[in-house]
Structure 1
Amino acid sequence: MSRIPPRLQPLWPLLKRLHRLLAHLGGVLFRRLGPVAGERAVPRTATEESTATVAGEPDAVTLHAGGPAEELRRGPAVGSPPQHWVFVAGERDTVPARYTLEVTDGRLVGEWGATVTPGGVLDYQSSGYFGLSGWREHPVFLAPRLPPVEHVPGTVLSLTTRGTTGNYYHFLYDALARYGIFRECLPDVSVDAVVVPHAAGYQRQLLELAGVPGPHLQPRADRTYRADRLLVPSTPNQDLAAPHWVTNWLRERLPPSGRTDTPRRLYLSRGQQPASRRYVEEAALWPRLERRGFVSLDPGSLSVQEQIDTFAGAEVILAPHGAGLTNLTFCRPGTKVLELFAATYVHLGLWTIADAVGLDYRYLVADGPSREGRPMVGVLDDVSIPPERVEAALDDLMEDR
């Protein structure tokens, strides 16, 4: 989404539907070209579950079991308006059991890390993408052939999946957490390479802090990696559920350093660039926050360890919805959080983290049509809420002892 030019971002819901349609139609045609495309042929079919992938090619695909399925019960979330439909829908989740697929002569396609077996089958369960109704809409079918193939000898571990190349939240909960699954399933296995995004500074810092060994290969839109032995952990956070084992693993793997000089009251600013999910009335609200001892913070300006330390020391956090709130993972239980939303885009991903950690979380949604049942309509809409309403909700949160 962030790669769409700003002038086209309001058209995102339409562009997404077009993207899905083109993948569906392209797949119908391109799957027929397999005999002439050779090793770059798009998958000839797919499985919905990895167990079916194993059953279809038992000589090439093995499933190494990890932890059990997790039933999550949350909430109800507290906020205004009460009982918002997004949070009500998120009160119950089932997270599938964890596993790692081992694929002999497996292929890993594009930035999304789609897993393809030597028999030409897309393992859809480990290759999920945003907002699809099924495997036929996967972007692997948008082109007549797969990207050029690069052979990587030996054992290759994949930590990449949708959203991990450019988003802090998805890198932490979808890429890094996959390493935890791999180690759970295959604790004694060493690898010759790891396919994981590492172009950004925060990605390299997180990989080092979490102890993910190299060499690291960057997932690329113009590349298909073929490995002698491909290891693909299951996707730990496909439905933005923040499973408790993930938050616990991240908190244990990425502890605070013990600093005590960090601010206790944080306001996370998203700047004032329009169509960026900014809080429009920030200038009017800020003097009131400053009088209450808040410090304005851009988490992206800090190192990863500084972000961990800062959130670990916080007592109250106020922010419009954004990836910086992923650092709630490192807060102490009981930390107070108020998250602001536009009426057109309410997202439960940070609430699920807050619930897993045990935070005192509240939400505040701007007035306007809720567009119930259409959660991805206004993804970058700015947040406009009268400062008096924010101030009242914040005071209510801070006074609730």
Structure 2
Amino acid sequence: MSRLPARLQPAWPLLKRLHRLLSVLAGMAYRPFGRLLGVRGLPRTATTASVTTAEREPGAVTLHPAGPVEVLERGPAQGTPPAHWVFEQGRHAEVPARYVLDIRDGRLVGDFGASVTPGGILDYQTSGYFGLQSWREHPVFLRPRLPEVEQHEGTLLSLTTRGTVVNYYHFLYDAVARYGIFEEAMPGERVDGVVVPHGSGYQRQILELAGIPGPYVQPRADRTVRADRLLVPSTPNQDLLAPRSATEWLRKRLPPSGATGTPTHLYLSRGQQPGGRRYLQEPELWPLLEQRGFVMLDPGTLSVQEQIDVFHGAEVIIAPHGAALTNLTWSRPGVRVLEMFAGTYVHLGLWTIAEAIGGVHYRYLVGTGVLPEGKEPTGIVDDIDIPVAAVLAELDLLLGM
């Protein structure tokens, strides 16, 4: 979505449905020829559970178990309007048991990290993508053959999946946190490389702070990585649930530095560029927040360690929805958080982090626009329109919690 030109972004829901349909049709045409194209042949079929993948190719695929199933009971989330259906749907969830899939002569396709066995099985459980209803809709099937193959000797660990190349939230929870699953399932195991996005400064900083050793292999849309042995940890955050196991691992692995003197009342700005999920009334709200002792912050201007330290020291945080709130991961119990949404795009991923920490006083505030229950969001980058008086009223409720 973030790569779509601004003029096409309103058409996102229609384009997404078309994308899924084209994947189904292309797959029907191209999959039968997979065997003829060798290592660049498309997967001929798929499984919906990694345990089934291991059972179907026992000579090539092994499943290494890690932690147990996590049953999540959360909320209810507090906010306006009360009992919003997105948060209600996220109150009860079950995260499958963690594991690492071990594939001899495995292939990892594209920057979405689709896992393919030597027998041509797409392991859908570790290859999820945004908004799909079936493995047949996976974008791996849009091409007549896989991207060019890059061969690697030895063992590669994959930490890449959808969204991890370009998004701070997905990089932390869908890439880096999975290193903890690898350590849990295969303690002491050494690898010859890690397939993980590392092209941006924040990605390199996080990898260093987390102690994830290289060499690193950059996932790319035009590349299939083939390894003698491919290790793929499970992907427990596919539904934006921020399992406690992931949140706790990140909090321990990337601790605050002990810095003092950081601001305690934060307002996170997304600027005022149109179509960037900005808060429209920010110029009116900000002077009133400043009078209350708030500091305006763009976390992207700070180093990762500085972001960790600032959020660890914060007592009250107000923000339009965005990846910057991923830094709640390092907030302390007792912090108060107000997250603002456009009515056409409500996202539970930051609330679930707050719930995983425990003791966080969280409120949401949804602005104009409507997201029908059970429907895909139509306004992923829509600006947020909420009267200043409504924000201040919600803030007073938050401070009284």
Output the CA distance in 1 between the equivalents of 2:97 and 2:287. 48
Aligned twin of 1:305: 305
- Runs of 4+ residues deviating >4 angstroms: none
- Report how far residue 202 of structure 1 moved: 0.5
Where do 1:42-57 residues align within 5 Å?
Answer: 42-57=42-57
Alignment of 1:344-359 (within 5 A): 344-358=344-358, 359=360
| Residues 1:86 and 2:86 aligned together | yes
Aligned twin of 1:6? 6
SS in 1 for 2:115: strand
Q: Partner letter of residue 390 of structure 1?
A: V
Check the 8 A contact 1:177/1:236 in 2, yes or no.
no
Cα separation, 1, equivalents of 2:205 and 2:215: 15
> Would the aligned equivalents of 1:346 and 1:375 in 2 still touch at CA under 8 Å?
no
Summarize the alignment of residues 2-401 of structure 1 with structure 2, pairs less than 5 Å apart. 2-358=2-358, 359-400=360-401
Q: CA–CA distance in 1 between the matches of 2:161 and 2:370?
A: 33
SS where residue 177 of structure 2 aligns?
helix
> What is the CA–CA distance in structure 2 between the aligned matches of 1:88 and 1:38, rounded to whole Å?
47
Task: Give CA deviations for 1:118-160 in whole Å, capped at 9, x if unaligned.
Answer: 0011000000000000100001000000001111000100000
Distance (whole Å) between structure 2 residues aligned to residue 396 and residue 34 of structure 1? 59
Q: Offset of 1:397 from its aligned partner? A: 1.2
Once the two structures are superposed, residues 216-261 of structure 1 have per-residue CA deviations (whole angstroms, 9 ceiling, x without a partner) of 0000011101100110000021110010111110000010000111
- Gap regions ≥5 residues in structure 1: none
Q: Shift of the alpha carbon at 1:385? A: 0.3
Residue pair 1:347, 1:375 contacting (<8 A) in 2 also: no
Name stretches of at least 5 consecutive residues in structure 2 with no aligned partner: none
TM-score, scaled relative to structure 1: 0.99
AA in 1 matched with 2:255 = P
Deviations 1:39-83 (A, max 9, x none): 100000000100110110000000000000000000110000001
Counterpart-to-counterpart distance in 2, 1:370 and 1:189: 46
1:252-271 per-residue CA deviation (whole Å, 9 max, x = no partner) reads 00100001111000000001
TM-score by length of 2: 0.99
Counterparts of 2:86 and 2:331, CA distance in 1 = 24
The code of the aligned residue for 2:193 comes to A
In 2, Cα distance between the equivalents of 1:42 and 1:375? 28
Amino acid at match of 2:81: P
Aligned residues of 1:86 and 1:375 also touching (Cα < 8 A): no
Say if 1:100 and 1:234, in contact at 8 Å, map to a contact too. Answer: yes
Residue type of the alignment partner of 1:398: L
Give distance in 1, aligned partners of 2:36 and 2:73: 50
1:185-231 alpha-carbon deviations (Å, 9 max, x no partner): 00111000100000010000000000100000000011101100110
- 1:289-343 superposed Cα distances (whole Å, 9 cap, x missing partner): 0000000001111100000000000000000000000000000001000000111
CA distance in structure 2 between the aligned counterparts of 1:293 and 1:63, rounded to whole angstroms: 53
**1:276, distance to aligned residue in structure 2 (A):** 1.0
- Contact 2:180–2:249, Cα closer than 8 Å, also in 1: yes
Do the aligned residues in 2 keep the contact of 1:366 with 1:385 (CA within 8 Å)?
yes
Indicate if the aligned counterparts of 2:371 and 2:377 stay in contact, CA closer than 8 A. no
Q: How far apart, in 2, do the equivalents of 1:35 and 1:244 lie? A: 42
Percent identical pairs in the alignment equals: 68
